[in-house]
Structure 1
Amino acid sequence: MTRPLVVKVTCGSDEPERSNQGLTVAATAVSAGAEVSLWLTGEGSWLGVAGRMAFALPHAAPVGDLVAAVAAGGRVTVCTQCAQRRGITEADLLPGVRIAGSSAFVEETLVPDAQALVY
């Protein structure tokens, strides 16, 4: 049995390698059968918005495919405050992506045996 994994990606096209690494880890964990929750915060919030996948990284899986893989097999959340600061609404989000706040993040990270990673 795998532990729940919470991955927080705090960057987007401003730091494509770090962003893609977090998304790759989350998608790989989903494919391995782990319970995965991906949190998109800061500039990473844009990764949950339709039409905003503004970068491609050589030798890496496409960002949109990674987010879609996590959304299909896990949970993808855009931070409430981050969304508000950027004018992102539920209507802007990709399918399977939600907006939630710190109480949901804390609840997920305090689950027994949960592992949290921040990129």
Structure 2
Amino acid sequence: MSRALVIKVTAGQDGPERCNQAFTVAATAVASGVGVSLWLTGEASWFAVPGRAEEFSLPHAAPLSDLLDVVLKGGRVTVCTQCAARRDLTEADLIPGIRIAGAPTFVEEIMSPDVQALVY
């Protein structure tokens, strides 16, 4: 049995390399058959809004929107409750399939047996 991967990305346009690395690792893990839960926090929360990932650009990196699509198709994507509230985002504002959840859900996920957690 393989371990699941929970990835929290805390950077957005303010830290493009760190942000892209988190999405790249998440998409690669999904493509490899690993169970992935990607948490969007801080400025990364904006990428849950339709069209925002398409606006992101980083030289020599896969398009963020493509990476997000891979994760959405094979994993789970969550926006932090407080981060969404600070940006006046509700689930109605988000790409279908992305949920909003808080710290209790994050802690439950990372404390599950056979889970590896990464924070970018």
In which range does the TM-score fall when normalised by the shorter chain? Answer: over 0.9
CA contact (8 A) 2:2 2:114 kept: no
CA RMSD of superposed structures (Å) = 0.8
The aligned residue for residue 48 of structure 2 is: 48
The alignment partner of 2:24 has SS state of helix
State the distance in 2 between where 1:31 and 1:117 align: 17
State the distance in 1 between where 2:80 and 2:69 align: 18
| Segment of structure 1 superposing worse, 96-105 or 47-56 | 47-56
The aligned residue for residue 5 of structure 1 is: 5
CA contact (8 A) 1:24 1:66 kept: yes
Task: Look up the equivalent residue of 2:5 and give its one-letter code.
Answer: L
CA contact (8 A) 2:84 2:90 kept: yes
For structure 1, the 5+ residue unaligned runs are none
State the distance in 1 between where 2:31 and 2:51 align: 25
The alignment partner of 1:30 has SS state of helix
Question: How many aligned positions are there?
Answer: 119
Identity of aligned residues (%): 67
Does residue 86 of the first structure (1) align with residue 109 of the second (2)?
A: no
The runs of 4+ residues in structure 1 deviating greater than 3 Å are none
Q: So what's the TM-score if we normalise by structure 1? A: 0.96
For structure 2, the 5+ residue unaligned runs are none
Q: So what's the TM-score if we normalise by structure 2? A: 0.95
